[in-house]
Amino acid sequence: MSLISFTADRCTLTSPTALPLAAGFLWNPHMMIHMTARGYATAQFMQPEPSKYARAQIMEAKHFMLPEQGTYAHHPGRFFYVKDRETGGLFSAPYEPVRAPVEAFAFEVTPTDIRWIIDRPGLRIELTLTLPVEDACELWEVTLTNSGKRDRKVSLYPAFPLGLMSWMNQSATYDPKHAGIIANCVTAYQKIEDYFKNKNLKDKVAFLSEQAPLAFETRQARFEGEGGLHKPDAIMAAQMDNGEALYENPIAAMQFDHDLEKGESVSHRFLFAPAFDDTEISRLKSLYLSADGFANARAAYAGYISAGAKSIHIETPDPHLDAFVNSWLPRQVYYHGDTNRLSTDPQTRNFLQDAIGSVYVKPETARKTLLKALSQQHANGSMPDGIRMYDGAELKYINQVPHTDHSVWLALLMEAYLDETDDYAVLDTLVTDVETGLARTVRDRISAANQWLIQAIDRRGLNFIDQGDWNDPMNMVGWKGKGVSGWLSLATAHSLRLWSQILESDGRDGSTFAGAAKTFNDAMNTHLWDGDWYGRGITDDDVKFGIKADTEGRIYLNPQSFALMSGAANSDRQARMVAAITEQMETPYGVEMIAPAYTHMREDVGRLTQKFPGVAENGSVYNHAAIFYIYSLYQVNETEKAFELLRKMLTGPNDEDYLRRGQLPVFVPNYYRGAHRQHPQASGRSSHLFNTGTAAWLYRSLIEGLFGLKGCREGLRIRPQLPPDWPSARVIRHFRGATFEIDISRGTPGLTVDGQAIAGDTIKDIVAGKTYYLRVNI
């Protein structure tokens, strides 16, 4: 049996131990859950700030998820113990915390739910987790089957640890009215004003059963006893004690005894959710906790997921890639655009780049994102470090640190949005900003953002970096006010070129911005071309870095990518850059962001140099940076290299690669471990973080680069760049309300539409609702 089977509809892992961090994720507009194959969970909901409802045993920082997040015995989990009352034999599903051997194991991630099927001698347990659309709420269905040759006396014990809810006030008890365990706490505060904010928080957690349990336990310590989670005293006893948690860490544990004849099955449904009060608990129970309630919730959730329309459907010689592109990647793109990563102050750059993905799955979301961002533009034309999603939201964490790149992403989003929709009317839309209360058109606002970039320069004509650009932890290059970013200067040139082209397409004069783009490119070629690649920047102390003279951090990927996009690099420089990257930065798992990785603090670069070599920004295969490079390679027709690196972003399809990376192929992660030449034994490991700007750019690179199906004012341009070993491919492209069924083959170059040869490479005068049949020879 293969370790992993993978299709557009399902990804199945057949071992609970081979990939211990393997996981899937579900979300709705109010919550997210990252669920591992072994039974651990990281889940948050919005109220309106991100909050947890199942916690660790001790206080932890409020991180959404950590990279390469390890699990431990008391990591928040969803456990289902099963005990044979005749023999005392015990196991737990999905696998933790008993870790008993299994005869067969299947962890199944689908676009709309997460499932397990686990076979033990004579018993099968099936678990299904799904979410509703309109509530922060987990819906669990459990079926226990006697698959053996004799009758069995078994007990089922769902056990959901709640951890340390509050050091001020926490408790839990069983409520027979709800057939559920209700935990209560008081969110701690110090400042008086926080008391009034906290009054509206959901400080209750409900674990409800459709059937009344035989017994229960709500005291974590008494539940575990001397046996711990591995062999809890409460479960090994004949019956739980019905204990009430009084200022102690609670657990929601229930006991159900069953006598199962051969072949007999029994099913249970459970609901796990945060709640504000008893009224809300009653509403959730009434709405969901029944066979019909679960069925209705599943149907609604399937409809919600399908609302993220797919721009393309592909059939290629690579079925593994087909499955990812046809289902899992647009799902990840949709998640980002629809939830803003479940943040109330998304970084502006993330907010705008995630919207680039929305262009292809839900363009109305991209439009709303653009207008929301511009409503918070500063009077000087610059963009803020984060976008406040509601009145009163605060800029937190990294958004309190001044960065200089946020304005460049406006033109990049506009290019993608206008090419896909031809909605040039958006440029005349008036937007009133919060800071000044003035109404200005989208066109004027994006022009102002680019004009701000033009003037935010030093004596060389390079952009200041302040305490970071796209690379957040590059925080000490320019904190004294003099350091500059080579990457940002190239990104500015790219933004200016795009904006000038958009203005020209709109019948306006874009020459000022086009001229400024050339000036930035010239400045980079004068000051930061290092012979074979571009330097990353110049510090406050006038020291160039990311150059050949450096022993660590000699070459950075991003300047090379944007030099290709901006037009700074001529053909000779392009060839030199690609050769240098191939030699110094490529790995079996993708292309690294920096090479060699830093091994000690460099105080004129910043905290990225304190990160472990090969982790995150310090030389990992940081997929967001990698996809910039891949996208840029498609722009200059480096077809073979672009696809080679693109394909490495997807885990599998062989077991060796799965085991090395440790991740299912249901999303592209933030990074894979790098520093391949320094620490080859660790390279390739996945971060398991699915919040990443990679997803949007990857979908765009596939649609517009690999398959060459890019919109323009005239219509749909057809310029495929298939890898050399593909003889053909078939694509269905949804574009401006029409459907294009496209067969791409090798032969004498030409294009036919509905059997008629046409001149050029652009389909014009597109009629919404029509299906076009295209044959493309390349």
**Edge-to-edge strand ranges of the sheet holding 180-185:** 4-6, 11-13, 104-109, 114-120, 123-130, 138-146, 265-275, 204-209, 180-185, 170-175, 245-246
* C-alpha–C-alpha distance, residues 492 and 450, integer Å: 8
* pLDDT score for 530: 97
Whether the per-residue pLDDT at 459 is higher than 80: the answer is yes
* C-alpha–C-alpha distance, residues 392 and 429, integer Å: 26
Q: Average pLDDT of 169-191?
A: 96
Please report, to the nearest 10 degrees, the dihedral formed by the alpha carbons of residues 570, 573, 574, 576 taken in order. 160
Evaluate the omega torsion of the peptide bond into residue 16 and state whether it is cis, within 30 degrees of 0.
Answer: no
Long-range contacts of 502-510, Cβ-Cβ distance < 8 Å, separation of 24 or more: 502/411, 502/414, 502/415, 502/418, 502/427, 503/443, 503/447, 505/418, 505/424, 505/713, 506/424, 506/427, 506/443, 508/443
Q: Average pLDDT of 656-661?
A: 97
Least confident of 68-77, 113-122, 123-132, 468-477: 68-77
Q: Which of 472, 530, 550, 657 is catalytic?
A: 472
Whether the per-residue pLDDT at 70 is higher than 90: the answer is no
Q: Average pLDDT of 392-400?
A: 91
Q: Average pLDDT of 477-488?
A: 98
Whether the per-residue pLDDT at 692 is higher than 80: the answer is yes
* pLDDT score for 3: 97
DSSP of 141-180:
EEEEEE-SSS-EEEEEEEEEE-----SS-EEEEEETTTTE
pLDDT interval class at 56 (50, 70, 90): confident
* C-alpha–C-alpha distance, residues 428 and 425, integer Å: 6
Q: Give residue-wise pLDDT tens across range 588-607.
A: 999 999 999 999 999 999 99
pLDDT interval class at 72 (50, 70, 90): confident
Q: Share the mean pLDDT of the chain.
A: 97
| pTM of the entire predicted model | 0.96
Q: Average pLDDT of 73-87?
A: 95
Whether the per-residue pLDDT at 255 is higher than 80: the answer is yes
Q: Average pLDDT of 706-711?
A: 98
Q: Average pLDDT of 695-710?
A: 98
* pLDDT score for 127: 98
* C-alpha–C-alpha distance, residues 321 and 650, integer Å: 8
**237 phi-psi bin (left φ>0, alpha ψ -120 to 50, beta other):** beta
Whether the per-residue pLDDT at 60 is higher than 90: the answer is no
Q: How far is CA 439 from CA 368, 370, 445, 451, in A?
A: 17, 15, 10, 18
pLDDT interval class at 223 (50, 70, 90): very high
pLDDT interval class at 58 (50, 70, 90): confident
Q: Give residue-wise pLDDT tens across range 602-631.
A: 999 999 999 999 999 999 999 999 999 999
Q: Give residue-wise pLDDT tens across range 539-577.
A: 999 999 999 999 999 999 999 999 999 999 999 999 999
pLDDT interval class at 65 (50, 70, 90): confident
% of the chain beyond a pLDDT of 70: 100
Query: Distance of alpha carbon 469 from its chain centroid, rounded?
Result: 21
Whether the per-residue pLDDT at 63 is higher than 80: the answer is no
Whether the per-residue pLDDT at 738 is higher than 90: the answer is yes
pLDDT interval class at 126 (50, 70, 90): very high
CB-based contact 363:417 (threshold 8 Å):
yes
Whether the per-residue pLDDT at 61 is higher than 90: the answer is no
472 is catalytic: yes
Whether the per-residue pLDDT at 309 is higher than 90: the answer is no
* pLDDT score for 673: 98
* pLDDT score for 704: 98
pLDDT interval class at 688 (50, 70, 90): very high
Task: Quote the tokens at residue 576.
Answer: 């030199």
Q: Average pLDDT of 642-646?
A: 98
Q: What is the amino acid identity at position 587?
A: T
* pLDDT score for 642: 98
% of the chain beyond a pLDDT of 90: 96
Whether the per-residue pLDDT at 336 is higher than 80: the answer is yes
Q: Give residue-wise pLDDT tens across range 407-435.
A: 999 999 999 999 999 999 999 999 999 99
* pLDDT score for 204: 98
* pLDDT score for 219: 98
Whether the per-residue pLDDT at 451 is higher than 90: the answer is yes
